[in-house]
Amino acid sequence: MKAKPQLVALLVGLSGLAAAYPLVKRQTAGSPKLVVAHHIVGNTAGFTLDNWTQDVTLASSKGIDGFALNIAADDFTFQQVGFAYQAAAAANPNFKVFLSLDMDALNNQINCNTTDAGAFVRNVTSTFLTQPAQLQIDGKAFVSTFAGESCTLGGADVFTGWNTEFTQHPDLAGKIHFVPSFFIDIQQFKNFKGVMDGDFNFNGGWPIDLTTKAAPQILGGTPDFNNLSPNQQAIIASQIGSFDLDDEHITQLGLVADSAHTYMTAVAPWFFTHFDQAHGNKNFIFDADDHLYVTRWQNVIQNRDKVDFVELVTWNDFGESHYLGPIEGNLPPGSEVWTNGFDHQGFLEITNHFATWYKTGAEPPITTDQLVMWARPHPKNAKASSDPLPPPTNFELTQDQLWAVVLATAPASLTLATGDNATQTFDVQPGVNKFNMSLTPGGFMQGTLTRNNVAVIDLKPDGYTFDPNPATFNFNVFVAAASGNAAAAPAPPASASSDPAAPPATSAATPASTDSASTSAAAAPTATSTDAAAVSDSADPPATSTVL
């Protein structure tokens, strides 16, 4: 699977777009919101039923309601998909799975413009559509895709092919709820009557139009990427996690006749890929700075009445560095260079908070302090001594920053450090807090959350150095996470409300226990603590903080 560029219709007056289509209230008793994760079956050739059970159990514990099984025509597809359905049914009856037909990968195995491709997608869909763990919507099996906008399945054209050879074929007619991700000019959605029951905006998770090439137009003039003005930085930050592309999709989806207009969008933590020509010739990033994962979640939550389902992109796409689950299975050849040692489960640790908030419409009480930190392993302008490839396209947009998020039970202070003489201390309010500071070449990452002069969390992960002299380019991210002990009687965050657009949390909550921190991800905290009252002694640019 690979992310694809998308032709988006140019719509005038984006500021008024949200009011340009009827707002359908999607939160009803019969239509609960769900959060699922995109699971690449192509990376599971050696999985056993136990592996799938472990993934289902882990995902369930983090507020995830199901897996979208990204599949092609591999010789292990039917076995592994069968394991996934079996594991879900046994481990958690409420955990559902569905097929996401990877038409790009399938086209490399079976020409997707042939009747053979049509027969395959009908066969695999029919095989599993009545399984107990199959996600059912309106009494029909939910089915999605990655791509397929160029596939006729043997029909006269794309629109006709998906209609006659899939959704309205006698094998499947009336049995499936089809929500594909077609990477086309979205003004073409209206041509998919009888095909699209909804739309999955796979690319919604990243600012795909924010590129180095487009930067002069977006930022005004030729920017100095090493010295952006505050206004230019603000423009970039405003595009990270934005809902604007979603609004465009929803508008065009509303023009599809005889459709349920189900809308599913993506939330993603990161994006970097670095394959040479022999392994796919992909070498680019999407800008994932400015706390993309949390910011995207917040924007989706603010617009939750427009979104039926959220799909986390992804559970295990190691080749593109947007995985949330454990590093396991068959890594795409070459990706181990930037994946091994770069666990992302720290993002997974805070997922339940945002997933619950999205599904219920009210921010859940924070009962345990949590700290997540992440950073790239080398400066963006570093020269790689042994890499045959250049740095990835769009690398200039990235910032050499340590990013941190605190989910706090009560007021506290956070001291971040990226070197022995580079520290910054921030006030922490109850609720969700976002911070960052400049990284130090040759330095480390450390975060200490202090309350009542006692360290609640002290996290300095082993295995991380901001290396100024890397052997290869790696724009993946190292993630570390830890949590403190549960609060005795935590109060709901001040921002808890049935209105997701409620003001940021500012009031105090019951103090949490000040016992030692415990880790919640792969990186372990040190036993030492820092003085949270220390002021910044770094020569780096001022850090920023946001409280939500």
Cα gap 26→261, rounded to integer Å: 10
Residue 380 shares a structural domain with residue 293: no
Residue 331 lies in a domain: yes
Does residue 22 lie in a domain region? Answer: no
Specify if 533 maps to a domain.
Answer: no
| Shared-domain flag, residues 259 and 288 | yes
Per residue in 218-250, pLDDT (tens digit) is 998 899 999 999 999 999 999 999 999 999 999
Residue 81 DSSP label: H
- For 304-330, the pLDDT digits (tens) are 999 999 999 999 999 999 999 999 999
Q: Describe the strand order of the beta sheet including 368-375 as a list of residue ranges.
A: 518-519, 478-486, 368-375, 401-408, 431-438, 544-547
Q: Report the CATH number at residue 118.
A: 3.20.20.80
Q: How many CA atoms lie within 13 A of 429 on its CB side?
A: 14
Query: How confident is residue 280, by pLDDT bands cut at 50, 70 and 90?
Result: confident
Residues 284 and 339 in one domain: yes
Residues 149, 183: contact at Cβ < 8 Å? Answer: yes
Residues 306 and 160 in one domain: yes
Q: Which domain holds residue 445?
A: 368-486
What one-character-per-residue DSSP string does 181-198 give?
---S-GGGGGGGTTT-SE
268 in a structural domain: yes
Does the structure show a pLDDT above 60 at 541? no
Residues 261 and 381 in one domain: no
CATH number of 429's domain: 2.60.40
Of 307, 337, 360, the position where a domain reaches its end is 360
Task: Check residues 523 and 209 and name the one with the higher pLDDT.
Answer: 209
Hey, what are 85's tokens?
């359905």
Does residue 347 carry a pLDDT above 60? yes
In this structure, the answer to whether residues 390 and 460 fall within a common structural domain is: yes
Q: Is 27 contained in some domain?
A: no
What is the model's pTM?
Answer: 0.86
> Are 251 and 399 contained in the same domain?
no
Nearest one of 190, 202, 386, 207 to 289, comparing CA atoms? 207
Q: Are residues 317 and 392 in the same domain?
A: no
Last residue of a domain, one of 308, 325, 360: 360
Assess whether 309 and 437 both reside in one domain.
no
Q: Residues 352, 374: one domain?
A: no
pLDDT on residue 221: 86
Q: What is the pLDDT of residues 23-44, one digit of tens each?
A: 344 545 456 899 999 999 999 9
Is residue 344 domain-shared with residue 415, that is, in the same domain? no
On whether residue 494 sits in a domain, the answer given is no
Question: Is 496's pLDDT higher than 60?
Answer: no
Out of 360, 387, 404, a domain closes at: 360
Is the domain of 430 the same as that of 477? yes
What's the total number of domains in the chain?
A: 2
